[in-house]
Chain A
């Protein structure tokens, strides 16, 4: 008995002992890289390519922060995390940023000691089924077996949806996405439910992607975004403004191609963003060309979106809600001034 209590206590002490007194920015600068928590493999968001390099929308956010802090987007190390490991990893300072398609919810924001630094992808939960079932709406899913991941908002949304519509269902919840895909593919479940972006991404892993379709219903709001620890406002600001810088750059027409020549522009908004006017980097504890580095090395939000999940990628997701507010979407960044 004693031994196990001791182990438990040591584990929790390890969690607690790492309570950093120095600021995250200082720690990151001292180690020379950013430790970034990502998913264990979700095409388009965070996934390793054939060369073993991490790519994706969530990965690019970490790269952008590294560009802002170090002027070098490659100074990032990645920790693949399962849904149930992710918050503990962040709380215990194992990682500096959690950028892992994580839904911003009130509980997570208020009782886990975490702060959400923005929304880099507006998502919603959907359902994928076999076309051969001949079903056109999620309201016809009564009695179905539903495969999903454990420990996510997905599980709760599915429960809410089926209860609200008084339909029976069986929920089969796996820890890893790969097993959900395998189980769905082998016929254990009629339905695969997760965030719609995830469904498009996982569909590529099925034996015959064309035999499956995503139903039109979106049953929840899933604002996905990067997360940092509570209590370090400077680091919180850096991550938040990295995201805003990419949005502002797209809105102002600055991209990785033209960022150098844009430095000569007369537009005061662009001049402030690129650090030609004002001392905006100082407020973040960074150099004045922080945004230039982000845009030159990673790109603006539109470039990142198109490169990873956009219509020309295998995922083929249209901008939809994620278009800028000026284009009918809801991606909106406060101004740099």
Chain B
């Protein structure tokens, strides 16, 4: 280097303009100011132009009456509710699809991923065909396929598939009795909670005992007994204070009970099946990343293939699986916005669609929608990173 003998640290007087440290700081600060100025001018320009052209702005519209109805709402909603309420309804519907979709996609993805590595020729080929077909078709087409395939396959309300006069399946959805909770019902969920806590405690105790003495304890059966048994006892003691609101055909359709709409069914189906094909590949890659020596060592110790997979392979594979799995969860959540095509009332459909159109306040509505998806994605990613850190290889 050119610093030579009398380089830095010798107290040589360098003017600020030639000092690389100060120069760096100066340019960083200048860049930051430029970025802030850019943001400010964009916002200012937008606001000025909106007001110049008599386009209403601001978030006051959130309190106005919506005036339209929504087909599926997880919280009470009527035509008199506000646009703000529409936002909540849309957000909850998006969350519902995302959570249910992620649940099924994960299960299906793991099963197919393991199937692809099966030594059974047929099982492995079925998994391969599934992955190659599903992940190469556009998701929107698959959503349409499931929606219209589901609808056309189902009969009208008057010819519903009738399961024991309680559950009815038709092209308006799956209609099932909804519970009406009577007095004293609280005992059952409380018993369930106690069962869960006890099971968790027993699992910890059993693991400690096994580590200390090598003796195993039938944790699964005990936990099952506690989780099912305790609420059952509580129910018997209080006399099962639940009545059912039975659906009944009236006029055009069934009245009473609760309805799972076909839009939700087909959206979850499409999202789960589509995302599972990617998860399957991630799982396969994860399993393949575990050295075969691990399997051999495990067999040599006398472990069976099932426990080898469960206790040796999967825990090591998870370290490779989790980071790309996070991306798939994010994709699924964001892809749920395609709901708008089949009338499922998610956030994009009811808020960034209907509300945007009724109020015309595109800037505010889209900003809110984008920030919501951003928050959802960051929350998912933070949770998955925490889980990843927890299961990461701990070097001692």
Chain A interface (Cβ < 8 Å from any Cβ of B): 1, 4-13, 15-17, 19, 83-84, 87-88, 91, 107-108, 110-113, 141-145, 147, 150-152, 155-156, 158-160, 163, 169-176, 179, 182-183, 186-188, 190, 229-231
Contact = CB atoms under 8 A, between A and B. Distances in A.
B370 interface: yes
Contacts of A173: 68, 71, 343, 345, 349, 354
Contact of A108 (B151, B349, B360): B360
B255 A143 contact: yes
B55 A13 contact: no
Contact of A229 (B53, B359, B366): B53
Q: Which of A4, A156, A170 has the most CB of B within 10 A?
A: A170
Interface in B58-75: 67-71
A111 B151 contact: no
A230 B49 CA distance: 12
Nearest to B348: A175
B357 interface: yes
Given A4-B371, A172-B263, A174-B341, A142 B360 contact: no
Q: 7 closest pairs, A vs B, by CB?
A: A151-B357, A16-B49, A113-B53, A143-B251, A113-B55, A111-B56, A112-B360
Contacts of A8: 363, 366-367, 370
Contacts of B67: 156, 159-160
B68 A183 contact: no
B31 interface: no
A150 B353 contact: yes
A9 B250 contact: no
Contact of B363 (A15, A158, A187): A15
Given A1-B374, A159-B69, A160-B67, A186 B171 contact: yes
B242 interface: no
B192 interface: no
B362 interface: yes
B143 to A, nearest CB: 11
Nearest to B80: A163
B210 interface: no
B342 interface: yes
A170 B71 contact: yes
B358 interface: yes
Contact of B357 (A5, A150, A159, A229): A150
Given A5-B39, A170-B253, 9 more contacts: A1-B374, A13-B42, A19-B52, A19-B53, A142-B251, A150-B353, A183-B343, A186-B148, A190-B252
B116 interface: no
A17 B48 CA distance: 11
A222 to B, nearest CB: 15
A112 B374 CA distance: 28
Contacts of A15: 46, 49, 362-363
B356 interface: yes
Given A142-B251, A150-B357, A9 B46 contact: yes
Nearest to A162: B69
Given A111-B56, A186-B151, A150 B42 contact: no
A155 B354 contact: yes
Contacts of A182: 148
B253 A145 contact: yes
Nearest to A110: B54
Contacts of B39: 5-6, 9
Nearest to B151: A186
Given A4-B371, A143-B252, A187 B356 contact: no
Given A84-B357, A151-B354, A12 B42 contact: yes
Interface in B283-314: none
Contacts of B371: 4-5
A23 B50 CA distance: 18
Contacts of B353: 84, 150-151, 175
B213 interface: no
30 contacts: A4-B374, A5-B371, A7-B370, A8-B363, A8-B370, A12-B46, A13-B42, A15-B363, A84-B354, A87-B362, A88-B362, A91-B53, A107-B360, A141-B252, A143-B251, A144-B253, A147-B343, A151-B356, A151-B358, A156-B67, A159-B68, A170-B253, A171-B68, A172-B343, A173-B354, A174-B343, A175-B349, A175-B353, A183-B343, A186-B152
